Amino acid sequence: MTQDHTNHQPQGGSCCGNKHETQPVSLSPQEKSQDKKFTDPVCGMQVSKNPEKTARFQGNAYYFCSTSCVSKFNAAPENYVKAKKVIGLSSVGNVNSDGMQSDAEGEHKDPVCGMRVNAQSQHQLVHAGQSYYFCCNSCLEKFRKDPAAWLDPARRPAPKAVVKDAIFTCPMHLEIEQVGPGTCPLCGMALEPKEASAEEDTSELDDMRRRFKFSLALSLPLLIMTMGDMLPGVSFHNLLGMTVFNWLQFILATPVVLWAGLPFFERALASFKIMHLNMFSLIGVGTATAYVFSLVALLLPGTLPAAFKMNGMAPLYFEAAAVIITLVLLGQVLELRARSQTNAAIKALLGLTPATAIRIAADGSETEIALDEVQLNDSLRIKPGAHIPVDGAVLDGHSNVDEAMLTGEPLPVSKQAGDKVSAGTINQQGSFSMRAERIGNDTLLASIINLVNQAGRSRAPIQKLADQVSGWFVPAVIAAAVLAFIAWAVWGPAPGMANGLMAAVSVLIIACPCALGLATPISVTVGIGRGARDGVLIKDAEALERLEKIDTLLIDKTGTLTEGKPTLQHFSVASGESETDLLALAMALEQRSEHPVAHAIVSYAEAQHTKPVAISNFTSITGKGVSATVDSKVVLLGNPALLQEHAIHISGFEQQVTDLQTLGHTVMLMAVNQKAIALLSVADKIKNNSGEAISQLQQQGMHIIVLTGDNAITARAVAKQLGLDDVRADLLPADKFRIVQELQAQGRVVAMAGDGINDAPALAQADVGIAMGSGTDVAMHSAHVVLVKGDLRGIVKARSLSQQAMKNIRQNLFFAFAYNFIGVPVAAGLLYPWFGILLSPMIASAAMSLSSVSVITNALRLRTAKL
């Protein structure tokens, strides 16, 4: 037993003696803060989480009791855990080695996971005289345990956390699917859960962040040490001595390359195996060449031809390999953080559904049950202030329900017997009972969650130019290196082999993607920082790129164009009446009212320091208004229909009523003893800066469409005041989502600006989602840009920043590729026959460094960009 095992006792066998299959570790946020025990997959011991005794296999983390177990696992992980096979690529109509089967054109649908399969599937089951077909044995066994739960959608539970056998897919290549997390074999990206999840697996992000911090800590001093000679009066190699200087480079770079960069080499090797080259192929070839050559030069300098040496010393490129690995790790951390925003939105949406519901039994007794125990046609009690658990209809009682998550409108909606209610909406003061009509995955809230999840997966991150050209650039560079070696060895002057080897190595080193890796992330980083100074938060490079291409802008009305809350907009009184006295009277009436606009009137009166008068005989008239008695006088306050019902003439206010209703205001009249004496109107006020922002965007040729869940009259009134004529009203979240898809199908590049939960699916689906900083957390998680101040003029600034940043990135890419396209032929010896120029690896390294300096200097100019 090794020293690492001293404090552990084996459970169920000798330590490290038996092979065990364990499930990958998946931690919830709560569990991460606890000392949870895990099973060592090699020896079976129960151990605590220890980053120093951790290994990863196919995207999963495993923990061990000792370093010896880690070594055994790393040597052959498939001996201890079950490898997960990729379903994609050649899976159509075929059975993969893990037994999974799929057929995109299959005539049957797996009732468990929904995958299409054909009649030749080896996973079949006859239930109640009917045959069912499955993609894998796991789905078949789930169905066998409880067929009714999978055949009746109403019995399926609400969305739950990701389980260990969940299907994961690549956001860039949707045809790639596998059981559990991992990386895409085509592009090397981390896979994401295919279905909505309440729990986010951050293991990939945590691992990349840990590797980045480690590599940065070693690469930074390495870079300072090797670049110090460029500064006057600084010479680390003279200070330390050449031997110590070289070995110190090796010590600092080796952990970065061999441990921190290990995932990239694995992805590069995988890309060469299937001959689908990507950015990781380029990184793998470049860094491996730089490191291996440096290692040979350090350990066996005598084996290198004299042509490789300068002043008797062979050049080392340890810092180039380490810095490239560090930069790529930074890019991975930023990308994984950006992609986690959709998961944050889904978790916020799932939080709208209560964990329990109150069921009313046949005898009238009430019992609190778990949400997944709710059955169709159950009677449920909804208490004041509670979230409604499922979709259904009101049985008895009356209340106002806040449906802002569906419509975006701030005014609660009155509900009584027969009216429909939806899961996730919030009951106000009243209590009522309801009948469950749609539960679990069939609720409207579940459909919103699925739309957000679908949009998040379908919007693949834009491949960097390095990815797009790697398919031909990598083989071209390797071919150039091989041809250079052959040409020099066969036709070159003596020593031909030495010169050929030098030319080949020079080609591979000068093509190392240091500047190419810097070109995009450094401009994005500087650009995002510049936007943040002006209150424009841009979450990822994709949004920064697409902003300049936007030609259609969809804008939610409530909370985006308007303030998002109803306020008293107009208060006029009949001649001879006291405005102060009537406001006090209106305040007294509305303080007792449950009407949605009552709060706006009371808030206005409180702001005027008004004191309510004493009233009696208060009565609420459903759907019309209220009445009361003041000093033996009968007072009415409500909509025009209420006064007309009491035969009260409103001729003195008739024109005002018409004009204000045309503007979308909710109009109320006050009457005392059968005489109309005051008019009050409540509306959601247009933001002061909305008009200016709309005008600027229209001048840029932007087509603007107003989307709202509000009624058409109010929507058109607001749009008309802003000079907009394309209005879509009475929309549900799925309608907004569909409109975005339709416009994208027409070839338009669409931005969506909104602030509410009902905007989340459209924000996620749009090419660029823009959320107001004053809006809901769900909207901000779903969007790609957040306007901190809620000022629409931020969209104009964001577009300007995008145009300047993309111009800067194109300039950087030009610098990066110019050095490669010029340097590679020179390094291969193309100029030697005419000018006698043969580029040494050391000069190649200097050229590579110069390209990086050019890129960095150019990107820093964005800090002073004028928006």
pLDDT at 306 over 50: yes
What's the DSSP call for residue 387?
B
pLDDT at 456 over 60: no
Whether pTM > 0.75 for this model: the answer is no
pLDDT at 552 over 90: yes
Least confident of 170-174, 256-260, 394-398: 170-174
pLDDT at 421 over 60: yes
Q: Encoding tokens for residue 847?
A: 């050229």
Compute the C-alpha angle 397/398/401, nearest 5°. Answer: 130
pLDDT at 772 over 80: yes
CA distance 24 to 77: 12
The pLDDT assigned to 157 comes to 47
Regarding predicted confidence, which is higher, 837 or 215? 215
Q: What is the 3-state secondary structure (H, E, C) of 605-654?
A: HHHCCCCCCCCEEEEEECCCEEEEEECCEEEEEECHHHHHHCCCCCCCCH
Alpha helical stretches, state H, 513-634: 514-533, 541-546, 579-591, 598-607
Average pLDDT over residues 646-671: 87
Nearest to 717 by CA among 694, 693, 683: 683
CA distance 593 to 428: 13
CA distance 839 to 306: 14
pLDDT at 192 over 70: no
The pLDDT assigned to 844 comes to 56
Average pLDDT over residues 8-21: 38
Regarding predicted confidence, which is higher, 811 or 552? 552
Q: At what angle do helices 496-510 and 465-491 cross, to 10 degrees?
A: 170
Regarding predicted confidence, which is higher, 683 or 826? 683
Kindly report, residue by residue over 317-333, the tens digit of the pLDDT.
Answer: 788 788 878 877 876 77
Nearest to 480 by CA among 515, 460, 447, 509: 509
CA 318 from centre of chain: 36
Average pLDDT over residues 89-95: 37
What's the DSSP call for residue 106?
-
The pLDDT assigned to 88 comes to 39
Burial of 586 (0-12, 13-18, 19+ CB in 10 A): buried
Catalytic residue from among 103, 207, 556, 759: 556
The pLDDT assigned to 422 comes to 87
Least confident of 339-348, 673-682, 775-784: 339-348
The pLDDT assigned to 245 comes to 83
Catalytic residue status for 556:
yes
Kindly report, residue by residue over 575-630, the tens digit of the pLDDT.
Answer: 888 888 899 999 988 888 766 688 888 888 988 888 888 888 888 877 788 899 98
What's the DSSP call for residue 105?
T
Kindly report, residue by residue over 788-801, the tens digit of the pLDDT.
Answer: 778 888 899 999 99
Average pLDDT over residues 412-425: 86
DSSP 160-187: -PPPTT-EEE-SS-TT-EEESS-B-TTT
Q: Encoding tokens for residue 449?
A: 């969650």
Alpha helical stretches, state H, 300-435: 318-350, 404-407
Task: Give the range with max mean pLDDT: 183-192, 473-482, 509-518.
Answer: 473-482
Residue 245, classed as helix, strand or coil, is helix
Kindly report, residue by residue over 122-142, the tens digit of the pLDDT.
Answer: 788 888 778 888 877 767 877
Q: What is the 3-state secondary structure (H, E, C) of 664-717?
A: CCEEEEEEECCEEEEEEEEEEEECCCHHHHHHHHHHCCCEEEEECCCCHHHHHH
**Measuring CA to CA, how many Å separate 258 from each of 132, 228, 250, 255, 448?**
49, 25, 11, 5, 44
pLDDT at 181 over 70: no
Report which residue type is found at 799.
Answer: R
Q: Residue 491: CB partners within 8 Å, gap ≥ 6?
A: none
The total of other beta-carbon atoms located within 10 Å of residue 306's CB is 10
Kindly report, residue by residue over 47-77, the tens digit of the pLDDT.
Answer: 877 767 887 665 467 888 888 788 888 777 7
The total of other beta-carbon atoms located within 10 Å of residue 525's CB is 15
Looking at every residue in the chain, the average pLDDT score rounds to 76
Per-residue confidence band for 813, with pLDDT thresholds at 50, 70 and 90: confident
Q: How many residues does the chain have?
A: 867
Regarding predicted confidence, which is higher, 500 or 866? 866
Average pLDDT over residues 203-225: 86
Q: What is the 3-state secondary structure (H, E, C) of 729-743?
A: CCCCHHHHHHHHHHH
Average pLDDT over residues 533-540: 80
Per-residue confidence band for 728, with pLDDT thresholds at 50, 70 and 90: very high
Per-residue confidence band for 3, with pLDDT thresholds at 50, 70 and 90: very low
Per-residue confidence band for 359, with pLDDT thresholds at 50, 70 and 90: very high
Burial of 146 (0-12, 13-18, 19+ CB in 10 A): exposed
Cβ pair 824, 558 in contact under 8 A? no
Least confident of 220-229, 416-425, 569-578, 760-769: 220-229
CA distance 522 to 441: 43
Q: Encoding tokens for residue 811?
A: 């300039």
Regarding predicted confidence, which is higher, 164 or 734? 734
Long-range contacts: 609-613, Cβ < 8 Å, 24+? 610/580, 610/583, 610/584, 611/584, 612/584, 612/585, 612/587, 612/588, 613/581, 613/584, 613/585, 613/588
346: left (phi over 0), alpha (psi -120 to 50) or beta: alpha
The pLDDT assigned to 760 comes to 84
Regarding predicted confidence, which is higher, 555 or 45? 555
For the CA atoms of 46, 47, 48, 51, the dihedral, rounded to the nearest 10 degrees, stands at -140
Nearest to 203 by CA among 233, 183, 173, 230: 183
Q: Encoding tokens for residue 104?
A: 């995109």
Q: Residue 830: CB partners within 8 Å, gap ≥ 6?
A: none
Q: What percent of the chain has pLDDT over 90?
A: 12
CA distance 318 to 226: 9
The residues facing 133 across adjacent strands are 124
